[in-house]
Amino acid sequence: MNIRTYNKIAPEGLKLLREGYEVSDKTEDPNGIILRSHELTESELPESLQVVSRAGIGVNNIPVAKCTERGIAVFNTPGANSNAVKELVICGLLLASRKVLEASQWLEWVAEENDLQTRIENSKKNYTGHEIKGKTVGVIGMGNIGIEVANALNGLGMKVIGYNRTLKPELRETLNDNIQLTSDLNEVYTNSDYITLHIPLTESTRNFINADAINKMKENVLILNFARGELVNENDIRDALSNSRIACYVTDFPTKNLIGLRNFIGLPHLGASTYEAEENCAIMAANNLRNYLEEGITINTVNLPAFAKKMDREYRICLISKTELLSQINELNLKDVDITSLEKNGIFYTVIDTDNEDEINTINDIKGVIRIRTLVK
Ligand code: MLT
């Protein structure tokens, strides 16, 4: 199998793709792609491609709809970098609350002064900050990262309001008891001293934070965005900073028009840039890709239904379609087969397990299939 990498993928993950895999950053006809933040274009989806595996959570750099149309599975790595992002969010929140960056920069300017110690003691009043204990933070988006952030900030003594329209039951169980959950954004806007964003970027969340939203927020709110830049309307946040409507905007996604503004703190997309997270993501991305190519398993796909069953028969035929195929399959009167048919968002994933090689040709004749793959144990 040919695997194409884009970006630097941690060796711990690539190590999992040794036997039976050729991994390169050049191959023109890959069966699989592993990438980090590379903006994948439609022209980089050749006929040979079966799977795109992102070492990270956001998939906005992948043309997911086009992949689905061509029967290409897209995976991400939920949870693998949550701790890294959480730690940087806490760092951003403290940087913004305690004027750490300004104070440290001022020190560099006065470092050569003879009366340095006196100047330090006289000037520290300029850098008085706020404690976060007892303040309210609104966490918008309670997925893997949002929940970790909410629990950690609660542990630091903050009141937490978590916003999500729906919360996965398995994630709810991991949430600290005293975290308040709401599906009403106004509750977050009107009560929060800090607001931190942890939602994916989609067409419906682009410009999620705009002038309207900012107008509903408390005066002097601090906004943190370690999710995606386009969630926040650039002009509106720029205005809010310029007229001091908000106290600070901290983001991992700075732009030319924001860098240098007073009370703007930008970082160069460092959220997942820890050795630990890079390793976790690369391992999970490589496993996602292998499990799909070798056994058709779709746990962690974003565009197919989730199918987790290990292969226990000689052959597995995996079919991706936009229509339900079961009635057609039943008419074939296949012998000695196990059939699973799943649907998610109008996409069907049908898996037929068999030891009977003769059935494979019959299955190949099924109509209305976007992609069919026959896997051999
Ligand atoms: C993510 O979506 O998880 C991050 O953007 C990952 C990264 O920094 O590569």
Q: In testing the pocket of ligand 1, which one of 6, 35, 37, 225 has its CB within 8 Å of the most ligand atoms?
A: 37
| Cα–Cα distance measured from residue 225 to residue 251, given in angstroms and rounded to the nearest whole number | 5
The residue whose CA is least distant from atom 8 of ligand 1 is 272
pLDDT in tens, 111-160: 999 999 999 999 999 999 999 999 999 999 999 999 999 999 999 999 99
Atom number of ligand 1 nearest to Cα 77: 3
C-alpha to C-alpha distance for 188 and 215, rounded to whole angstroms: 13
CA distances from 25 to 37, 112, 123 (A): 14, 49, 53
The β-bridge partners of 249 are 223, 264
Among 7, 36, 284, residue to substitute to test ligand 1 (most atoms within 8 Å of Cβ): 36
Is the CATH number of domain 307-377 3.30.70.260?
yes
Q: Which fold has domain 84-94+131-266?
A: Rossmann fold (3.40.50)
Contact 249, 111 (CB under 8 A): no
pLDDT in tens, 242-266: 999 999 999 999 999 999 999 999 9
C-alpha 204, offset from chain centre: 16
71: left (phi over 0), alpha (psi -120 to 50) or beta: left
Beta strands 32-35 and 180-182 are: unpaired
Q: Is the pLDDT of residue 166 over 90?
A: no
Distance from Cα 318 to the centre of ligand 1, integer Å = 30
229 close to ligand 1 (CB < 6 Angstrom): no
| Tokens matching residue 129 | 């900050």
Chain region(s) in the chain for CATH 3.40.50.720: 1-81+272-304, 84-94+131-266
Q: What's the rounded Cα separation, in Å, for the pair 277 and 83? A: 8
- In this predicted structure, what is the pLDDT of residue 165? 82
Q: Cα torsion at 302, 307, 308, 313 (round to 10°)?
A: -140
Nearest to 313 by CA among 285, 347, 333, 340: 340
CB 280 within 8 A of CB 77: yes
Cα torsion 256, 258, 259, 261: sign: positive
Beta carbon of 36 within 6 Å of any ligand 1 atom: yes
The answer to whether the CB of 254 is under 6 A from ligand 1 is: no
Per-residue pLDDT at 267 exceeds 80:
yes
Q: Does residue 37 line the site of ligand 1, with CB under 6 A?
A: yes
| Nearest alpha carbon to residue 209 among 247, 240, 169, 180 | 240
pLDDT at residue 171 is higher than 80: no
Confidence band for 371, pLDDT divided at 50, 70 and 90: very high
Distance, in Å, from the CA atom of 221 to the CA atom of 241, rounded to the nearest integer, reads 11
| Nearest in space to 38 (alpha carbons), one of 66, 69, 5 | 5
pLDDT over 80 (residue 317): yes
Domain spanning 1-81+272-304: CATH superfamily: NAD(P)-binding Rossmann-like Domain (3.40.50.720)
Over residues 272-280, mean pLDDT = 97
Which residue minimizes the CA distance to atom 4 of ligand 1? 56
Summarised one tens digit per residue, pLDDT across range 76-101 is 999 999 999 999 999 999 999 999 99
- Which pLDDT does position 169 carry in this prediction? 81
Per-residue model confidence (pLDDT) at position 170:
80
208 vs 330: CA distance, rounded Å: 47
Query: Residues spanned by CATH 3.30.70.260 within the chain?
Result: 307-377
Its pTM stands at 0.91
| Tokens coding 26 | 């050049």
pLDDT of residue 297: 98
Distance between CA atoms of residues 222 and 233, nearest Å: 15
